[in-house]
């Protein structure tokens, strides 16, 4: 799955469109046998940060930033999205 984020408001500093964000994915309070990994990607969908389960601290601006989310079943059954 691919996710995009764009800051359409004011940035963290006067005169800037840049805003610090933390990108993460989880199952909420549900306990599910799956692995969730994510990375920030370029426009060609190539990971530009390491793929992993940890949140990504990054800066977005008034141009799109892209993120890939990978969900892998850990039981042998299929994961329905």
List pLDDT tens digits, range 47-61. Answer: 999 999 999 999 888
The strand ranges marked E within the chain are: 2-5, 19-23, 34-41, 56-60, 65-73
Q: Rounded to whole angstroms, how far apart are CA atoms 24 and 6?
A: 16
Is residue 66 assigned to a domain? Answer: yes
pLDDT at 74 over 90: no
Query: Residue 45's domain spans which residues?
Result: 2-11+18-25+33-73
CB 50 within 8 A of CB 39: yes
pTM for this predicted structure: 0.78
Is residue 80 assigned to a domain? Answer: no
Is residue 48 assigned to a domain? Answer: yes
pLDDT band at 7 (very low <50, low <70, confident <90, very high): confident
Is residue 79 assigned to a domain? Answer: no
How many domains does the chain divide into? 1
Which structure tokens are listed for 8?
A: 């359409």
């Amino acid at each position: 799955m691919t996710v995009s984020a764009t800051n359409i408001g004011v940035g963290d500093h006067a005169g800037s469109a840049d805003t610090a964000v933390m990108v993460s994915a989880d199952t909420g309070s549900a306990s599910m046998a799956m692995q969730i990994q994510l990375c920030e990607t370029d426009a060609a969908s190539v990971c530009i940060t390491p793929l992993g389960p940890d949140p990504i601290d990054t800066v977005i601006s008034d141009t799109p930033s892209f993120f890939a989310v990978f969900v892998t079943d850990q039981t042998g059954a299929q994961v329905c999205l």
